[in-house]
Structure 1
């Protein structure tokens, strides 16, 4: 299997001017995970660490890229990234940011890794399945993809009563990719209202949104949960055409294939309406993120 797509840094994970801060990082995924867990704290879980957060600190969730995260971390404290910080000196961020930073570390070490977007049922949630973002990395020795929940440090596992191995999650751990949730809802085996972030953000738009986010992440565009920039993202399920539903059904099938290749991803991307990628690229450029050379392009199929 060709892993280049999963070892090169994306426009979001590339540390850029902070790459020298990575020089003393360990090589083991498990050691890298512990470092990430010592740099980030979830905004909903301050009580577990006996800390409270100011509004300014909570605004850190508006960060978009790994360089922005690293800049903020170093503003708070100049210590080496490898040093575990007190909870009050960490970045206050949500689950996807644990995964983004971990993803950047893994790729720096040449370990194939990818962000996965879906839903988990092992939290104290208003919904059966809560929006949740994880990491998969490829274990070359065991020759399989390892799914890992970077947010679940020991204190959180105890709090939520999680007993499965969060550093090599089994298939029955209670996690569904966006594509799996989409397919289950399409088949009538789950209700779309079972999936979402909370009681105000749930249903088909959440299921469809995470399917699209998972696909984009595999292409190296790890967008924020609320980055719904395409017509497919914003259109209500009942307004989708038969062709659009077929596209999303195929996207679900592709993204749930653990061994999907770069060529297959690009071929499917090429079949999408041209406006899909144009809308994402345009918005990223407006946000000051250069997409010209670092995102995958269907033109690469011709090379």
Structure 2
């Protein structure tokens, strides 16, 4: 399988001239790139008290920063005290971007692709946040040329956070166990569709009792976003288009489910994902990204229409 498709930037991960020197100064190994990305994002919900960390609440809208260039412009403009901007230092929360797992992953992809490393985002669920639940998450999938295999890398988590997996292992951020530590959208869909996992265990957070943020609607949402990410049209997690805008009321209609079965069939096998097949499937009605998408507000405000032609026409 040709991995070159994922070794070049997308419209979302493309970086500007202002940040190339800082990226090029980083070592080329995956461990160094992952450590760098783990220092760039202050999580908008899980990061803790904004004021205690010196993060002005006026910066909350940064969560909707869509493009890596804009992210890096903000990050590199913070906290370097007039010295040459760098991505290699450990950053205080106030020197980071207010974002989420998607943003840390986008930044990791930007760094890796700049160094011609094949890397792609995977949208799915992690098992290391809440025991008994599969929690909404985005990680990177990177082709390790030395080992001749794809590996899952959590670009967001700090090295100091060392959760235990259910089998007693310490979760390795550089090499998540596929289907165990992290389930892609396709793996989650298959597990629920086959009756192996109760769909209500797939959540954004167990404490969020919002129908669209758990169960079948959310599994379908993440499967569609995973397809978009594999097609290098990496979207913000609360963007919605096509069949995602249907009122499913907790159950995905069989006509939609059959199309999502096709998506899972093409995207479930990491070693056999064909860019041409992804492109063809992502163009189908119900799945294709239109010029304008509906973007919901993670803070509870009204949804807005966002022009994403820059992404789909790249």
How high is the TM-score relative to the length of structure 2? 0.82
Task: Show the counterpart of 1:87.
Answer: 93
Choose the corresponding residue for 1:116, options 115, 122, 131. Answer: 122
> What is the CA–CA distance in structure 1 between the aligned matches of 2:199 and 2:247, rounded to whole Å?
15
Task: Show the counterpart of 1:277.
Answer: 288
Worse overlay, 160-169 or 62-71: 160-169
> What is the CA–CA distance in structure 1 between the aligned matches of 2:122 and 2:177, rounded to whole Å?
15
Q: Give the CA deviation at 1:13.
A: 0.5
> What is the CA–CA distance in structure 2 between the aligned matches of 1:242 and 1:69, rounded to whole Å?
39
> What is the CA–CA distance in structure 2 between the aligned matches of 1:232 and 1:286, rounded to whole Å?
15
1:137 aligns with 2:153: no
Cα distance change on mapping 1:243 and 1:292 into 2, 3 Å: closer
What do residues 229-268 of structure 1 show as CA deviations (whole Å, max 9, x unaligned)?
Answer: 2134534177755442211001011111112111222233
What do residues 4-49 of structure 1 show as CA deviations (whole Å, max 9, x unaligned)?
Answer: 22011111100134343323122111111111122223231337xx
**Uncovered stretches (5+) of structure 1, i.e. residues with no partner:** 295-303
> What is the CA–CA distance in structure 2 between the aligned matches of 1:62 and 1:185, rounded to whole Å?
30
Q: Is the 8 A contact 2:126 2:136 kept in 1?
A: yes
Q: List structure 1 runs of 4+ shifted beyond 4 angstroms.
A: 158-162, 237-241
Q: Is the 8 A contact 1:95 1:132 kept in 2?
A: yes
Task: Show the counterpart of 2:74.
Answer: 72
Cα distance change on mapping 1:159 and 1:174 into 2, 3 Å: closer
Task: Show the counterpart of 2:43.
Answer: 42
Q: Is the 8 A contact 1:119 1:131 kept in 2?
A: yes
Matches within 5 A, 1:210-249: 210-236=222-248, 241-249=253-261
> What is the CA–CA distance in structure 2 between the aligned matches of 1:65 and 1:182, rounded to whole Å?
28
> What is the CA–CA distance in structure 1 between the aligned matches of 2:250 and 2:61, rounded to whole Å?
34
> What is the CA–CA distance in structure 1 between the aligned matches of 2:262 and 2:79, rounded to whole Å?
46
Question: Alpha carbon RMSD of aligned pairs, Å?
Answer: 2.7
**Uncovered stretches (5+) of structure 2, i.e. residues with no partner:** 295-304
Q: Is the 8 A contact 1:208 1:233 kept in 2?
A: no
Identify, as 1 or 2, the structure richer in helix: 1
Q: Give the CA deviation at 1:216.
A: 0.3
What do residues 86-130 of structure 1 show as CA deviations (whole Å, max 9, x unaligned)?
Answer: 2331223211111110011001100000000111121147x7111
Task: Show the counterpart of 2:299.
Answer: none
Task: Show the counterpart of 2:7.
Answer: 7
Task: Show the counterpart of 1:204.
Answer: 216
> What is the CA–CA distance in structure 2 between the aligned matches of 1:269 and 1:288, rounded to whole Å?
15
Task: Show the counterpart of 1:290.
Answer: 310
1:190 aligns with 2:212: no
Aligned length: 288
Secondary structure of 1:155's partner?
coil
> What is the CA–CA distance in structure 1 between the aligned matches of 2:73 and 2:169, rounded to whole Å?
33
Cα distance change on mapping 1:3 and 1:172 into 2, 3 Å: closer
Q: Is the 8 A contact 1:14 1:104 kept in 2?
A: yes
Secondary structure of 1:249's partner?
helix
Secondary structure of 1:117's partner?
strand
Cα distance change on mapping 1:278 and 1:4 into 2, 3 Å: same
Choose the corresponding residue for 1:149, options 135, 154, 169. Answer: 154
Cα distance change on mapping 1:231 and 1:124 into 2, 3 Å: closer
